[in-house]
Structure 1
Amino acid sequence: MTVLRANGITLHTQRLDPVDPSRDGPARPTAVLIHGMASDTMASWYFTLAEPLARAGFPTLLYDLRGHGRSERPATGYALDDFVDDLEALLAGSGVTGPILLFGNSFGGTIAFGYAARRPERVAGVVAVESSPPTPEWMRRVAERLHRVAARLPQEGALAGIGARRGPTAARRAADTGRFLADTSITEELPASRLPSTEALAALRCPVLCLYGARSPMVDLAEAVRDLLPQTRVAVLPDQRHSVLVDAPEAVRRHVFAWLTEQCGLGTTTTAAPTTGQPDDRPPHPTTVP
């Protein structure tokens, strides 16, 4: 386990170096993979896209968000700016100084857009899976879901029901999510976050890829994202839900590598199978909060 002190807390991180760093062509941007909120961890990226990116020549950095996985869980500090501050400090502490490609699953995409609005000169592109920039409507949905989950998990039989439907690992993660929501100020702080201005978000010029599941309630945000960021390519995956990253990783990889080639000018192939080692355990299914 690799830990790094960043922004006053300890973050669990994982770095995958390019398999062939001597390959011809210009150096690749560093791919930074950011997971979603509550029951998610870096595992959702580790088992789906991290190794294929490294095999394609991208230095790849993953981490558990504050309060998640093996990272420290402070009682407070859960506004959007705190998560963006963590990312900025993590990059500095990891020695990442060049351009970056940001990948965000669910709320991780919102952190990616928040960072891009703050440091647009550093971001070569954004891939957001089942996500949105930090607009008031998106944050309203996040707040609604946080409060719904916080109210449901303590109810009698809730964890047993999750275990019966999804297995013991899901029940353990749900229990940890319940503790996270009860022991921290996230349900109050995150909805009250200061958001980047619409002007700052609209000024982003980097390529953007947004992936949605056709059966997810998040897909109706695609039009608003394209209105805000016209350069966005949107791909809707048939029959998929909010957990599309975990449920359809091969389809996600195809879209990502095609976009890297066509929109970012980074010629790539995706021949690698996902990682079989285990930094923690298998990715949660599904993520709890958008």
Structure 2
Amino acid sequence: MATLHTGDISLHVQRLRPSKGRAPIGTALLLHGLFTDSLASYYFTLAPALAAVGFDVVMYDHRGHGRSDRPLSGYHLDAFITDLDDVISHLGISGPVHLVGNSYGGTVAFGYAVRRPERTSSLLVIESEPATEAWARKMRCLFPRITTELCEDEARALSEITSHYDPRTARLAKSAARLARETTILQDIPASTVLTEAQIQSVSCPVLAVYGGDGDLVAQAPRLNALLSDCRTTIVPGHEHSVLIEAPKLLRALAVSWLCGTGTGTHGSLETEDS
């Protein structure tokens, strides 16, 4: 465990390296989602498998999440992209990186690929989409519900979560309620600067987008295929937004196949076993 001080904020960072004496085949930087997520979700899904095949794996808690600082304001998308840039710079990572983003983490990854194309080797985004005007409208509709459910009736919401889920989920929900109640995140993210269609089309690195077949975001698949010059999409039937947690074996196989393929200049078969 390490705390990285960027000058603006302190971020909790974890790093899994390949076995001793083995040179890494690349750097995989894993970005988690919002509110009830943290870097811990990758510890039980993708991170160990990627380190085992030779990647230098870097994870960190987004600002306001996990063990990173929770400033009162400063939660626009650009701030999250700058945090990613700072992590890469402060760790002295040389060469382009493979970005893996779940949910909002994928939105951050898309933004970074637009800002820093020379530092982005590939994108693997899970249940995610780039920040467009349509995305911002969706956030403006969704976030008032979070205000109601987590802030205005927090006791009832936490009671229901505690009775239906494990203690860890209840702790994450309590932390998410504090983040929503005590910071400007609910106002900042919907007001973020969005990408133009031309900016999205400028992403030239290989992209793999994974969607749960029963989720709302699966409609993004044909749009990304049309916009991006080097994009593949994979649909996981029977899953919604939590596909990373619900189908970890399948996602591990996809991630290893994809990152190893992009690291050697080929995409591989992307065949997976059932979850």
Q: Do Structure 1 and Structure 2 share a fold, with TM-score over 0.5?
A: yes
Structure 2 CA distance for aligned equivalents of residues 143 and 114 of structure 1? 19
Q: Which residue is equivalent to 1:79? A: 76
Pairing 1:28–2:25 present: yes
Q: Which residue is equivalent to 1:186? A: 185
Confirm or deny: 8 A CA contact 2:99 2:123 kept in the other structure: yes
State the Cα distance separating 1:35 from its structure 2 match.
0.2
Equivalent position SS for 1:4: strand
Structure 2 CA distance for aligned equivalents of residues 196 and 241 of structure 1? 25
State the Cα distance separating 1:110 from its structure 2 match.
0.4
Match of 1:107 among 104, 122, 138: 104
Pairing 1:132–2:129 present: yes
Q: Give unpaired runs (5+ residues) of structure 1.
A: 269-290
- Matching of residues 1-290 of structure 1 within 5 Å: 1-19=1-19, 21-22=21-22, 28-153=25-150, 154-155=152-153, 156-265=155-264
State the Cα distance separating 1:78 from its structure 2 match.
0.3
Structure 2 CA distance for aligned equivalents of residues 258 and 143 of structure 1? 36
Q: Which residue is equivalent to 2:272? A: none
More helix by share: 2
Quick one: which amino acid aligns to residue 43 of structure 1? A
State the Cα distance separating 1:202 from its structure 2 match.
0.5
Confirm or deny: 8 A CA contact 1:29 1:124 kept in the other structure: no
State the Cα distance separating 1:36 from its structure 2 match.
0.2
* % same residue: 40
1:20–1:226 CA distance, 2 compared to 1 (3 A): farther
State the Cα distance separating 1:266 from its structure 2 match.
5.9
Confirm or deny: 8 A CA contact 2:98 2:120 kept in the other structure: yes
Confirm or deny: 8 A CA contact 2:27 2:98 kept in the other structure: yes
State the Cα distance separating 1:107 from its structure 2 match.
0.1
State the Cα distance separating 1:169 from its structure 2 match.
2.4
Quick one: which amino acid aligns to residue 86 of structure 1? D
Count of residue pairs the alignment pairs up: 267
State the Cα distance separating 1:238 from its structure 2 match.
1.3
Structure 2 CA distance for aligned equivalents of residues 107 and 265 of structure 1? 28
Q: Deviations over 1:24-53 (max 9, x none)?
A: xxx522100000011100011121111111
Q: Which runs of 4+ in 1 moved over 4 A?
A: 261-264
Structure 2 CA distance for aligned equivalents of residues 101 and 44 of structure 1? 18
State the Cα distance separating 1:15 from its structure 2 match.
0.9
State the Cα distance separating 1:2 from its structure 2 match.
0.8
1:263–1:17 CA distance, 2 compared to 1 (3 A): closer
State the Cα distance separating 1:150 from its structure 2 match.
1.8
Equivalent position SS for 1:212: strand
State the Cα distance separating 1:123 from its structure 2 match.
0.7
Structure 1 CA distance for aligned equivalents of residues 215 and 240 of structure 2? 4
Structure 2 CA distance for aligned equivalents of residues 106 and 46 of structure 1? 17
Quick one: which amino acid aligns to residue 264 of structure 2? G
Q: Which residue is equivalent to 1:279? A: none
Q: Give unpaired runs (5+ residues) of structure 2.
A: 269-275
Confirm or deny: 8 A CA contact 1:66 1:72 kept in the other structure: yes
Equivalent position SS for 1:220: helix
Confirm or deny: 8 A CA contact 2:136 2:194 kept in the other structure: no
